[in-house]
Amino acid sequence: MDGHDHGMLGLMRATLRAPIPEHVRADFGFAALIMALFLVQVCTGIMLSLYYQPSPDAVSESVQFIMRDVSQGWLVRGLHHWAAAGLVAMCGLHLVRVFVSARYHHGRSWIWYIGALVLLLVIASTFTGEILGWDNSSYWRVRGLLEGLERLPLIGAGLADIVRGGPEVSATTLSRTYTAHAMFVPWMVWMLLMANLALIVRDMRRSNGGAA
């Protein structure tokens, strides 16, 4: 390895050039597809955030502005929506495949746990994204979520207060939902995807080293 192959770029180059062992090809393929859909979500979400206004009085107008007046705004919003649906589907299929093939055994339980966490976070992202429309349907979804949280023992009431941001569903609730959707959840998903990819690469290197 020469001086040009050190550092992050060298690691990426070595990873891309390494042969993919048979037993991790499906894991690598699913991880790549999920990562691609996630990046579509991030890019389209950033573009939408330039025009979306998380204020009850301005939400409807800002969404209409995106759909009607922003160049290709309808396309970006559509891509954001369908990429979210694709993420849920791909994460669910990945978990089903891992369960059916019993790949959560034999020291590879991390596949199951990381996949389950990513699926839960992606569902949470989709749910919060639907709430951002802030219409009657969104209001009742928030109320249903809060009632479900309040039923949880010990921590339920506290979590509901955090989500609600006060005694009643209000503009603060919308602001906190937007923050969770645009910042907290994506960063959590990103860290888990990076951890999953790093573990897959570790398995690849071990297999290639053993075969060498």
The reply to whether 43 falls in a domain is yes
What does the pLDDT read at residue 22? 63
Residue 138's CATH number: 1.20.810.10
The reply to whether 16 falls in a domain is no
Q: How far apart are CA 203 and CA 211, in angstroms?
A: 12
Task: For 77-124, write each residue's pLDDT tens digit.
Answer: 999 999 999 999 998 888 888 778 766 666 667 777 888 899 999 999
Task: For 147-171, write each residue's pLDDT tens digit.
Answer: 888 888 888 888 888 888 888 888 9
Identify which of 32, 28, 50 has the alpha carbon closest to the alpha carbon of residue 40. 32
The reply to whether 7 falls in a domain is no
The reply to whether 110 falls in a domain is yes
List the domain range (segments joined by +) for residue 125: 23-211
Q: What's the alpha-carbon Rg for the chain, to the nearest Å?
A: 21
Task: For 11-67, write each residue's pLDDT tens digit.
Answer: 456 555 666 666 666 666 777 888 899 999 999 999 999 999 999 889 999 999 999
The reply to whether 163 falls in a domain is yes
Q: Count up the domains in the chain and report the number.
A: 1
Q: How far apart are CA 162 and CA 74, in angstroms?
A: 33
Q: How far apart are CA 169 and CA 172, in angstroms?
A: 8
* DSSP symbols for 150-175: HTSTTTHHHHHHHHHTSSS--HHHHH
Q: How far apart are CA 54 and CA 36, in angstroms?
A: 27
The reply to whether 98 falls in a domain is yes
Residues 6+ apart with CB under 8 A from 130: 137, 138, 141
> Is residue 5's pLDDT more than 60?
no
Q: Note if the pTM is more than 0.85.
A: no
What does the pLDDT read at residue 4? 47
What does the pLDDT read at residue 69? 92
The reply to whether 144 falls in a domain is yes
The reply to whether 133 falls in a domain is yes
